[in-house]
Amino acid sequence: MNEDQMEMVITQTINGAVLTIPSYLEDIRQNKEALKVENPQEFVYGMIMGMALGMSGALLSAQEEMPTAEEQIKVRDIIYKYIPEIREQIYS
């Protein structure tokens, strides 16, 4: 998988995860006592970042060769450029 394809998959994953933010926040608010979540926004932020980083790790590990440190940094940078958008969706 080349860098453009990887970025496309990561972007699709993040966009899909961002769409779930309202439902996650509502679910946490409705089940706050059972979940014991103090800050729903930070909890959801962690979930979304976990999804993005997890999917990226799966993509890298599916390659024929072990990912280089440079490839891992590129993937991290792709994800990190979406942080402002993710945070805006959660905190707005």
pTM value?
0.83
DSSP string, 30-92: HTHHHHT-S-HHHHHHHHHHHHHHHHHHHHHHTSSSPPPHHHHHHHHHHHHTTHHHHHHHHH-
Q: What is the pLDDT of residues 14-62, one digit of tens each?
A: 999 999 999 999 999 999 889 999 999 999 999 999 999 888 888 888 8
Q: Where are the domains of the chain?
A: 3-91
Determine the pLDDT at residue 68: 84
Q: Is 70 a residue whose pLDDT tops 90?
A: no
**Confidence grade of residue 3 (pLDDT, cut at 50, 70, 90):** confident
